[in-house]
A and B are shown apart, each in its own frame.
Chain A
Amino acid sequence: MNGVKISVVAEDGKPVDDATSGADGKWEVPVPKAGKYKVTLDTSTLPAGVALKFQNRSTLDVQVYDGSVRNVLFALVPAGAKGGAAPADDGGTSFWDRVAQLTFEGFNLGLIIALAAMGLSLVFGTTGLTNFAHGELLTFGAMCAYFFNVVVGVHLVWAALISVVIGGIFGYGQDRFFWGRLRRRGSSLVAMMIISIGLALFLRYVFLFFFGGEGAPYADYNAQPGIQVGPISAAPKNFVAMGIELLVLVIVGLALLKTRIGKAARAVADNPALAASSGINVDRVIRIIWTVGGAIASLAGIMLGLSQNVSYQMGFQILLLVFAGVTLGGLGTAFGALVGSIVVGLFIQLSTVVVPTELKTVGALLVLILVMLFRPQGILGRRERIG
């Protein structure tokens, strides 16, 4: 913008100098020393059809420091679109667009939480174990996939498949060589819960040891450009991931409700001794559940890694939300984990409409407490009979 007049006045009111912008719209005023200066743009010298974007700011107080150049900017817009904050012109989104986006993100996050919650709820459901090391199962899966994907160099899809299998084996192994042994020794559930805290600590730092403290993305699909679907912009990987998550959740949920082994799992959850008396091989059922739980956790970890990053604290950081999801849905119900987690996901994202984003977790957790106030047994849970 050429020929616009700018004047600079020192703090004590002494004019320093004037300047006129050059062809590129730039100007420069040397000042004698550090201090405060007033910079004024003479609006009358602005060419026709151009106005200040922030009209009331034709004069700026500028602090200039020793030895450095200070840039001052007068933002200009075509006259007519005067005043106020920037209107939603190019690419900016309206409030409702943001709500739509947040709703989508809520489902996106909710489904990942749900997947993690399903694994947790399976194990909790059958053995009663509140497994605080579940987050580390997620991390394990994500790191396995990272290893195959980034270190070995297999495509992520195959790496994920392999890791889900390994996650299953890991789950199996945990029960076979660890939890199963403890169960047989008659460890109490509380003791096992604390042991799981120890295990979580152990595993988390094993991951730190081998993986390091920094997060890292997978080699494929990282920073995939978003596509616009209606008001929502999302990366294609999000849609695929959500599809897979929903599919797995529904399959596992139905399996738990309908298949023989699923019913057996619930039976074991209710009363292991009676289950054994019915001819159910309790140890085997639990082992299957651990295997499936481990595999699902692995998948959840990979999905989390895909949408976020792989890091040694990833599972631990999401664990509280996973617990919140399971609880909100109703402990031990097949689809409770799904429903609860999605509610958690939605509230995390949508609460940012009213609260600062740094407090978004607070929004979701408050909802958990409120729901518990009115439905102490969770959304899908059932009340126990007394007497």
Chain B
Amino acid sequence: MHADSTTTRKAAALAAFADLDREPGVAKPDPILVVDNVVRRFGGLTAVDVAHLEIQRGSITALIGPNGAGKTTFFNQLTGFDSADEGSWAFNGKQLKGVPAHRVARTGMVRTFQLTKALSKLTVMENMRLGAQNQRGENFFRALVPGSWRRQEDEITERAEELLERFKLNTKRDDFAGSLSGGQRKLLEMARALMVGPELVMLDEPMAGVNPALTQSLLAHVKDLREEGMTVLFVEHDMDMVRDISDWVVVMAQGAVIAEGPPDTIMSDQRVVDAYLGAHHDAPMSAEEFEEQLQEAEAELEAEIEEKA
């Protein structure tokens, strides 16, 4: 399958990671994004407190961590949707602190949202077209002369069609985005972000709610992105997926980066297991195993209840 064709870049990425330390904040050979001391507090709660983090260019990096660890908030800081209390970060060497969200996107760093933001009353196709950059027709005066943007529009449409096909949304092409199902919205959101043609794409739980079979084919697509030279940073709770495509995994907990490393190493890291994966993450379980586990849990619960009583 796809896996074979992706070897070159993957190999490169893996090689880059090969002899790095497995510790939080480790320096990467060719970082596209460098983050220093980013802090965001909500009242008494420190949602994000990342001391140092680098993202390797051309790699697929997974960001995992328990719920409420601050992953989404971290994304918000980096992409200019929320202002950080402290810290600085540079994308391709360019300082981005205080830069408004749309500029961040234009520099080539595009994110998707965990809670999808489909543009309901635009059709799926229009949603896609919107993603394209440097559109001539988006200038007020040129918009008045259709001839000036028609050609470009056709090219954009073509690119959009391809992506839609990939994301199995081609049948919904002319429907309002508002009428898509939850999973379809996720897909649209991701496809739309790719229309921007970013250097670094930041996906916030792209596969939550997406059908497994489709997830699988999308993974291939994400790997292709790497082949095209794109860097991917994604948040995900689906360990199968993380294991399958990521070259490097960053773990956050309570706002801070607690571990970094290749997927296999990370998943056996005891701290990560405790904080995040839980004892039984290694799917699949047989029915018997499950029964066992259930009884265990039940016993635990009962014990606790007794304790209380």
With contacts defined as CB atoms under 8 Å apart, how many contacts are there between chain A and chain B in the complex? 12
Residues of chain B with a CB closer than 8 A to A387's CB: 72-73, 75-76, 81, 113-115, 204
Within 8 Å of chain B (Cβ to Cβ): is A386? yes
Binding site for A on B (CB under 8 A): 72-73, 75-76, 81-82, 113-115, 204
B82 and chain A: residue at smallest CB distance: A386
CA distance A386 to B204 in the complex (A): 12
Return A94 CB to nearest CB of chain B, in Å: 45
CA distance A9 to B37 in the complex (A): 90
B111 and chain A: residue at smallest CB distance: A387
Given contacts A387-B73, A387-B114, 4 further A-B pairs with CB under 8 A are A387-B72, A387-B81, A387-B113, A387-B204
Q: Give 11 CB contacts A-B under 8 Å.
A: A386-B76, A386-B81, A386-B82, A387-B72, A387-B73, A387-B76, A387-B81, A387-B113, A387-B114, A387-B115, A387-B204
* Interface positions of A from 373 to 387, Cβ below 8 Å from B: 386-387
Residues of chain A with a CB closer than 8 A to B76's CB: 386-387
Residues of chain A with a CB closer than 8 A to B72's CB: 387
Residues of chain A with a CB closer than 8 A to B114's CB: 387
Residues of chain A with a CB closer than 8 A to B73's CB: 387
Residues of chain A with a CB closer than 8 A to B82's CB: 386
Residues of chain A with a CB closer than 8 A to B113's CB: 387
Contact with B along A326-341 (1 / 0, CB 8 A): 0000000000000000
Return A149 CB to nearest CB of chain B, in Å: 51
CA distance A387 to B79 in the complex (A): 11
* Interface positions of A from 336 to 387, Cβ below 8 Å from B: 386-387
CA distance A387 to B70 in the complex (A): 12
A383 and chain B: residue at smallest CB distance: B82
Residues of chain A with a CB closer than 8 A to B115's CB: 387
Residues of chain B with a CB closer than 8 A to A386's CB: 76, 81-82
CA distance A80 to B266 in the complex (A): 96
CA distance A361 to B4 in the complex (A): 73
Contact with B along A18-57 (1 / 0, CB 8 A): 0000000000000000000000000000000000000000
Return A385 CB to nearest CB of chain B, in Å: 9
CA distance A109 to B266 in the complex (A): 65
CA distance A151 to B208 in the complex (A): 67
B42 and chain A: residue at smallest CB distance: A385
CA distance A387 to B78 in the complex (A): 13
Return A384 CB to nearest CB of chain B, in Å: 11
Return B12 CB to nearest CB of chain A, in Å: 32
CA distance A354 to B202 in the complex (A): 54
CA distance A387 to B115 in the complex (A): 6
CA distance A387 to B204 in the complex (A): 9
Residues of chain A with a CB closer than 8 A to B204's CB: 387
8 tightest Cβ-Cβ pairs between the two chains A and B: A386-B81, A387-B113, A387-B72, A387-B76, A387-B114, A386-B76, A386-B82, A387-B81
Return B73 CB to nearest CB of chain A, in Å: 8
Residues of chain A with a CB closer than 8 A to B81's CB: 386-387
CA distance A386 to B72 in the complex (A): 9
A386 and chain B: residue at smallest CB distance: B81
Return A387 CB to nearest CB of chain B, in Å: 5
CA distance A171 to B221 in the complex (A): 57
Contact with B along A133-157 (1 / 0, CB 8 A): 0000000000000000000000000
Return B119 CB to nearest CB of chain A, in Å: 16
